[in-house]
Structure 1
Amino acid sequence: MSRHGSTFACALVVSGAALLSGVGGALAQAEPSNPPAVTALLDAGSAGLGSSAPAADAPRLASIDNFRDVAGTGAGYAAGWTHVNKGVFYRANAIVPNEADMATLAGLKLSTVYDLRTDDEVAQKQDVLPSGVTYKRIPILSGNINAMLGKIKSPDDARKMMQDMNRSFATGDVEKAKFRELLTDLATTDGGQVFHCTAGKDRTGWASAVLLSIAGVSNQTIMDDYLLTNEYAKDSIAKNTEGLKRAFGDAYVNFLPLVTVEQSFLQAGLDQVATTYGSMDKYLTEGLGLSPATIGKLKAKLVG
């Protein structure tokens, strides 16, 4: 691997990567980028919900293409007999808005932004926030990325790397401490809050999946929401795919799974939760060390 190629791939992986939606033809085992269930979420709002007087959907932001409401669209994701509240928690990629998107963000009256990126990621692209928004860093990542990249010789190697990353969200000491900090802050801070990494897919995707689980959203909807990254960020995906081609030539296909989301990535983390703790509830209390009171505050914000 050339120095340029290594630097480019490292930036993609450490940042949570860019996002791909149309790589099924290039990778023999790649999953469809837009499964029917995902299309239904996009076309009809949140699955299984009525349409009576829904709150406004999160705005689509051209310069922050993976910005969205954790609650979904329409009336909010179904959670038992209720639905997830909109306008409470947002997820995103790096927040570097153009002028129009800055005005839109300001209109949301956000209170706090949590940046889950590493020092190197932040140095490459610092957040630019509306006036009055509190900024807090909670960097989530461990391990030697360059060493892991050196082991990638095929798309399946890259997939395993992404699966292992999600497993670390369930069992890694560093990761657990940081997710505990994030969830505690989300529970105890007032106002609309945003959490993000660089691409808004891995660290951000895990945090969103945990929140939706606390809310009581179905496993299928949680997975469908995770896969929506491939649709929301398809422009970034295309741009970064070209970057991989320039960096690696024909070998770029080996690295494509690093810059997308596939069902097996999140599922690996969820399966690890089941194996290690037995349930998501025990992951929250035993793995992350969250108190019942903190979990209760999160649930009240999500579905109260």
Structure 2
Amino acid sequence: MKKFVGIGALIAAAAAVPYLIHKKRQKKLQAEDFSQNDSLPLPEKNPWETDFKDEDHLIFCDESNLGKRLIQLENSINIRDIGGYTGLDGRRTKWRKVIRSEELAHLSDKDVEYFDELGLKHVFDFRDAPKAKAMPDKLPSTADYKNIPVLKNIPFSHNEIDFTAPDGIDAFMRKIYRYQVENAAPLYAEILKVMTDPNQYPILYHCTNGKDRTGFMTALILLICGVPEETIISDYSLTNLTFDEAFEVLGTIMADEMNEAKGISKDQLKDFFGVKPEWLKIQLNYIKENYENVDAYLLDKTDLTKEDLDKIRENMLEAPSV
């Protein structure tokens, strides 16, 4: 018999992450802090325990530049800049133009001041409206806010998840990624349309944890800019930098929410707290196999024009070298 857990526990736990674990992140800026020691014996694992810190799930590249990419605030865990990646004609994406983030409900006054000083113009929130209302973002005075619930009409439910199956969460997440690439492009295009205007930067977009819905938005932007897929996957995987801390806190909270009758252990929840490159590849492969490139995909799925995409590239990429 399948065992289920309410999505409310997942959302509530996820929303608590920034407040509970922001202090632990301050000393973890360098990639070497997350490398494995080959001389140590590997722990025995249950079949559902993905190692989100291994070389297949936490992927660094020459342009990871963690010291500049990770935006270290007081009450946050997963806020990153998407600048510094090489795209078309060797031009790099500009820094402090586009920020990918978790929800902003737990920002401190000092954190909000950071975005004020940055002159943040727009905050786009991909969470469902009830969640956005229950946990409202703390916004700088400079920023306009818009809620764009990209999964509002999703035709399947979290109740499909069999938490006792080793691949239960994985199968569910694959369906979510497939749904986004097939159906949600017009919603993501609302942000892309704003990005055609050079006066509307910097912008920030986020979901709850800043990994899945936010990950697809980032992939679209970087694809438009001509950033290679391997670099895009590397950027996506950086969410796993804080996996251990997130799982320790969130897994405990979620496990406590479940009574013993449900039979759900903390370990069985693990796949909710990281990202798998295979998930993003579902979207990247869909675009390649059905449209060859992101321009054709967006021109077909949205009301964006070729001129719009050219404007985004011009606004996002550094000027060509003389």
Superposition TM-score tier, normalisation by shorter sequence = 0.7 to 0.9
2:234 paired residue number:
224
SS at match of 1:110: coil
Residue among 247, 259, 265 paired with 2:279: 265
Equivalent residue in structure 1 for 2:220, among 210, 213, 222: 210
* C-alpha separation in 2, matches of 1:17 and 1:279: 38
- 1:254, distance to aligned residue in structure 2 (A): 3.5
Instruction: Name the structure 1 match of 2:108.
Output: 98
1:280 corresponds in structure 2 to 294
Could you tell me which residue of structure 2 aligns to residue 176 of structure 1? 185
User: 1:302 and 2:322 equivalent?
Assistant: no
Alignment CA distance shift 1:281-1:99 (3 Å)? same
Shift of residue 214 of structure 1?
A: 1.1
Q: Distance in 2 between matches of 1:287 and 1:24?
A: 46
The one-character-per-residue Cα deviations of 1:200-228 (angstroms, maximum 9, x if unpaired) are: 11111100011111111111110010010
Q: What is the rounded CA distance, in whole Å, between the counterparts of 2:149 and 2:69 in structure 1?
A: 28
Distance 1:25 1:287, change over 3 A: farther
Q: What corresponds to 2:71 in structure 1?
A: 59
CA displacement, residues 19-73 of structure 1 (integer Å, 9 cap, x when unaligned): 9x999945446254252894645xx6537xxxxxxx96563123122111112xx
Letter in 1 for 2:113: A
In structure 2, how many angstroms separate the alpha carbons of the residues matched to 1:274 and 1:18?
35
Structure 2 SS opposite 1:182:
helix
8 Å contact from structure 1 (residues 110, 133) kept in 2: yes
Paired residue secondary structure (2:167): helix
Per-residue CA deviations over 1:64-91 (Å, capped at 9, x if unaligned) read 22111112xxxx1122522111111111
Letter in 1 for 2:82: V
1:243 to 253, 263, 267: 253
Is the Cα–Cα contact under 8 Å of residues 273 and 279 in structure 1 kept in the other structure? yes
Residue 50 of structure 1 corresponds to which residue in structure 2? none
TM-superposed CA distance for 1:9, in Å, is: 4.6
1:127 matched residue in structure 2:
137
Change (3 A) 1:103 1:31: same
Q: Give the Å deviation of 1:116.
A: 1.2
Question: Whose Rg is larger?
Answer: 2
Q: Answer with 93-102 or 199-208: which moved more.
A: 93-102
What are the Cα deviations for residues 103-147 of structure 1, in whole angstroms up to 9, with x where unaligned?
2222211111111111121123101111131111211103256x3
Task: Verify: 1:291 aligned to 2:309, yes or no.
Answer: no
Query: In 2, Cα distance between the equivalents of 1:6 and 1:28?
Result: 20
Cα distance change on mapping 1:111 and 1:233 into 2, 3 Å? farther
More displaced, 215-224 or 153-162? 153-162
Match of 2:86, as an amino acid? A
**Secondary structure in 2 matching 1:113:** strand
Equivalent residue, structure 2, for 1:33:
53
Deviations 1:138-178 (A, max 9, x none): 11103256x33333242312111111111112112xx1221
Unpaired runs of 5+ residues, structure 2, are 19-33, 37-42
Contact kept, 8 Å, 1:34 with 1:230, in 2: the verdict is: no
Counterpart residue number, 2:30: none
Check conservation: 1:223, 1:266, Cα contact below 8 A: yes
2:174 paired with 1:156: no
Which is worse superposed, 256-265 or 222-231? 256-265
Structure 1 residues not aligned, in runs of 5+: 48-54
User: Take 2:140 and 2:16, find their aligned partners in 1: how far apart are those partners?
Assistant: 25
- Deviation, 1:16, is 9.9
- RMSD, aligned α-carbons: 3.3
Partner of residue 196, structure 2: 187
Instruction: State the percentage of identical aligned residues.
Output: 22
TM-score calculated relative to the size of structure 1: 0.81
Whichever residue aligns with residue 95 of structure 1, its letter is L
The residue type equivalent to 1:247 in the other structure is E
Q: Is 2:80–2:100's contact at 8 Å kept on the other side of the alignment?
A: yes
Q: Distance in 1 between matches of 2:179 and 2:290?
A: 12
* Matched positions, count: 285
